[in-house]
Amino acid sequence: MLSIIVPTYNERDNVEELIRRISKSLRGLDYEVVVVDDNSPDGTAELAEKLSGEFPVKVIRRPGKLGLATAVLEGVRKSVGEYVVVMDADLQHPPEIIPKMYEYALNGYDLVIASRYVSGGSVSGWSFVRKSISRSATLIAKLLIPKVRSVKDPLSGFFMFRKEVLKDVNLNPRGFKILIELLVRGNYVGVYEVPYKFNVRSKGKSKLSIKELVNYVLHLITLSPYTTLIKFLSVGASGTVVNLGVLYLLRYVLDLKHVVASAIAIEASVINNYLLHEQWTFRERRGGNWLYRLIKFHMTTSLAITMQYMTSQILYYWLGFESLISQLTGILLGFIINYLLSSRYVWSRR
């Protein structure tokens, strides 16, 4: 049996046509449609319930807008099919290709993705900006997560999988991108991408917001095998901003001497980085005396800065490198030293 999970939020104008088209496409197959509605004010759930008289539709109502990913998972949990399809309600995903996806699934592909980015697939009606966002988001995913690199459209919201894939898997649903979660944590053999044309949304509005985009990047960071490194880098970048900001304040607002202002600014950035590493980068590795770690972090940071300075001088004066290149090499080396010492010594796993 095939279960089709359709998360909805304010899709009253789309849900009827969607269900009619699904039923037409799947004629002769054993299937159910599971609508997971987050208490849409427009009455989507009521309409879906009415349709359940005529079609094999099951409606799950949740008390409020709890998010797309959790809606999908709830639908999967309450479905009975051996295979599951996840698709949007807004008719941007054509149900007509489900039989073809099913064919691949039955031929041994545990995960079949409806893809905009394999040959034959396309996107219609998107502005240049919307297209660029989608492309960049896909690129970032591939950069941060090796497991999705072989997939052309890891952000697709339209896919089919064998339910076994999720057996005993701990998912951490967040935001919009449930497929990436599945690609990283699921137990599957074989992935196939079937091309489709992502249609223009004719009715209602997209629920994708800036908040979802930020959420998306944070989600990728937690799924990435390079989590700690990425966090460490981000904290380093924030430290630089603090460093310069404090310096500006002390120099130009409080009119302190550079020699004093500079020292205080450096200390401020070290403390900033320490706090963020405690609270975020190495949060799980705290324990014992925080003061001890604060002192250790000052030591490793000083060492890193010293090494950075020495490398830069040696490259410039002894080996004749250009000034910026010497300095940059020093920065890189300093970063590596600081990262290794922080993760193995200051916040060591025990």
Residue 73's alpha-carbon distances to 66, 158, 230, 256, in angstroms, are 12, 14, 28, 57
One of 33, 48, 89, 184 touching ligand GDD (CB under 6 A): 89
Contact 188, 161 (CB under 8 A): yes
Contact partner, 207, from ligand GDD, Mn ion, none, Cβ < 5-8 Å per class? ligand GDD
- Binding part of the chain for Mn ion, among 25-33, 92-100, 243-251, 299-307 by CB under 5 A, reads 92-100
Which lies closer to ligand GDD via its Cβ, residue 69 or residue 105? 69
User: Could you tell me the smallest distance in angstroms from the CB atom of residue 250 to Mn ion?
Assistant: 50
Residue nearest to ligand GDD (CB): 157
- Binding part of the chain for Mn ion, among 69-77, 176-184, 201-209, 244-252 by CB under 5 A, reads 201-209
User: Could you tell me the smallest distance in angstroms from the CB atom of residue 73 to Mn ion?
Assistant: 19
- Binding part of the chain for ligand GDD, among 1-9, 165-173, 186-194, 304-312 by CB under 6 A, reads 1-9
One of 11, 37, 90, 153 touching Mn ion (CB under 5 A): 90
Q: How far apart are CA 253 and CA 247, in angstroms?
A: 10
H or E element: which one contains 132? helix 128-144
Which lies closer to ligand GDD via its Cβ, residue 113 or residue 166? 113
92 binds Mn ion (CB under 5 A): yes
Contact 98, 22 (CB under 8 A): yes
| Token pair 């999970």: residue | 5
Residue 280 sits at φ, ψ, to 5 deg, of -130, -70
Contact 293, 347 (CB under 8 A): yes
Which amino acid type is present at position 316? Y
| Token pair 């997209």: residue | 206
Contact partner, 157, from Mn ion, ligand GDD, none, Cβ < 5-8 Å per class? ligand GDD
11 binds Mn ion (CB under 5 A): no
Which lies closer to ligand GDD via its Cβ, residue 161 or residue 347? 161
One of 51, 68, 84, 114 touching ligand GDD (CB under 6 A): 68
DSSP 264-312: HHHHHHHHHHHHHIIIIITGGG--S-HHHHHHHHHHHHHHHHHHHHHHH
7 binds ligand GDD (CB under 6 A): yes
Which lies closer to ligand GDD via its Cβ, residue 48 or residue 89? 89
| Token pair 């409080």: residue | 254
The strand pair at 159-162 and 83-86 is best described as antiparallel
Q: How far apart are CA 67 and CA 230, in angstroms?
A: 26
Contact partner, 155, from Mn ion, ligand GDD, none, Cβ < 5-8 Å per class? ligand GDD
Which lies closer to ligand GDD via its Cβ, residue 22 or residue 242? 22
Q: How far apart are CA 121 and CA 114, in angstroms?
A: 9
- CA 69, 71, 74, 76 torsion-angle sign: negative
H or E element: which one contains 262? helix 258-276
156 binds Mn ion (CB under 5 A): no
One of 45, 47, 71, 113 touching ligand GDD (CB under 6 A): 71
Which lies closer to ligand GDD via its Cβ, residue 7 or residue 330? 7
- Binding part of the chain for ligand GDD, among 140-148, 202-210, 281-289, 327-335 by CB under 6 A, reads 202-210
Touching ligand GDD, residues 9-38 (CB under 6 A):
9, 11, 36-38
Q: How far apart are CA 4 and CA 112, in angstroms?
A: 14
Residues forming contacts to ligand GDD in the complex (CB under 6 A) are 7-9, 11, 36-38, 65, 67-68, 71, 88-90, 92, 134, 155, 157, 176, 206-208
